[in-house]
Amino acid sequence: MSTVLRVSVIAALAAVLACVPACGKKDGAGKAKIGVVTNCTADFWRICEAGAQKAAAEFNVELLFRQPEQDFDAQAQMKIVEAWEKQGLDGMVVSVINPKGQTEDLTRIAKKVPLVTMDNDADQTGRKCYVGIDNYEAGRAAGKLIKRVLPQGGTVGVFIGDTKSANGQARTQGVFDELAGEKDAKGVDGAHPQKPDLEVRTYGKDVKYHVVDRTPREDNSPVNAQKTAGAVLARVKGLPNLCMVGLYAYNPPAILNEAKAKAMAKDIKIVGFDEDWETLKGIAAGEIEATVVQDPFAYGYESVKALATKSFDVKRIPYRVVTKDGKPDPALGCEVVEVAKFEPDLRGKLESVKK
C-alpha cells in the first residue's frame, strides 16, 4: 500500500470513528437518553422530576419523565418500560410498584438497558443501584412521632397507598416495631378496650397502641384516600388519644380534610410522610404534627446522575423530620427541620430548574 493511500485510509477511518458516540446510544446532539417512570401521579414526583431535570441539564441528558395515568398499576408501568426498551434508551429509572410481580420482566430489561430503582427497590433484578431512604428506619421515625404525641398510648389509624411495595412493607413494619418496642413485631389481635365492636391489633406492653382494623388501610389511589380516611374516622369518633398516620405523600392532607369535614381536626393528632405542599401547610398551621420526608429532588437528581456518569455507588438518601418549630429531638435519630425553612428551600429548588 502506498504512503498516500495509507494516509487516506487512516484519515477516512478517523472520520468514521469521530461520528461514533463514546458510549451508549445517543441522539443527534450527542445526548444520552434516560427515562424515569414513577409509581403514580403526585406532587412528590413533580419534585423528583425537577431534580431529574437538573441532572439532565448538568450531564447532557435527554430526559423522558413519566407519571403513569393508572396509579400503582404495575402492568401500565411495564408498558412504559417496555416501550422505552424498544426505543433503545441508554438507561431507565423505575419506582417499582410490585417488586415480586415485576422482578422477572425487570430482570429481562436490566440485561439490555442499565436499570436504576428509585424510591421502591427490586434488588433481585440486576439493577445497577437503588436510590432512596431506608424505609424501615423512616417508618420507625414515624412510630417515634406517634409515641411522642400519644405518650400514654391510644388508638392509631394507619393509611397507605398499598403494602405490596417494598417501601410500603418496610415503613409499616418500622412503625409497628417502634410501637411494640421489638423487632418483627406481630401485635395481638382483639377488640378495642373502650369500643368492643372495633377490631384492633395492639402493640406495646406497658404503653399500648391499638391499630384500627389490625392492619394499614390501603386506598390504592389518591382519589380514594379521603374516603378511606373518613371510614376510619367515623368509627373512632369520640375515643380519646387518637392519632392518624399517613404513609404516602397524599395521605396526610386527605386525613386532615376529612377530619375537618367531620369536625374532628382538634380531636386527633396527624403524623405524615413525605413533603406534600398541603402537609407542609398543615404543619405550619399546627394541624399536622410532623412529617418524615424523603427528598424526592435528590432521588431524581442522583438517579439520572448515576446513569449519565455510570457511577452506581450511590449512598442512601437521609430522611428527615419536618415540624413547626424545628426543635432537635435526639430520640428521632435524624435531622429535624423547621417547616418555615424547609418549604422555601424546596420551592427554591423547583424554581432553580425552571430558570
SS (H, E, C) 125-162: CCCCEEECCCHHHHHHHHHHHHHHHCCCCEEEEEEECC
What pLDDT was estimated at residue 355?
Answer: 59
Say if residue 121's pLDDT is above 90: yes
Give the three cell numbers for residue 69.
395515568
What pLDDT was estimated at residue 43?
Answer: 86
Instruction: Give me the domains of the chain, ranges plus CATH numbers.
Output: 25-132+298-318 (3.40.50.2300), 135-293 (3.40.50.2300)
Distance between CA atoms of residues 177 and 154, nearest Å: 16
CB neighbours of 247 closer than 8 A, spacing ≥ 6? 139, 142, 158, 159, 160, 168, 171, 172, 175, 216, 273
Say if residue 261's pLDDT is above 70: yes
Say if residue 18's pLDDT is above 80: no
| Predicted structure pTM score | 0.88
Helix/strand/coil percent split, the chain, to 5 = 45, 20, 35
Distance between CA atoms of residues 190 and 270, nearest Å: 24
* pLDDT tens-digit series, residues 63-109: 999 999 888 899 999 999 999 999 999 999 999 999 999 999 999 99
Give the confidence band of 28 by pLDDT, cuts at 50, 70, 90: very low
Burial of 345 (0-12, 13-18, 19+ CB in 10 A): exposed
Give the confidence band of 42 by pLDDT, cuts at 50, 70, 90: confident
Q: Is the backbone of residue 88 left (phi > 0), alpha (psi -120 to 50) or beta?
A: left
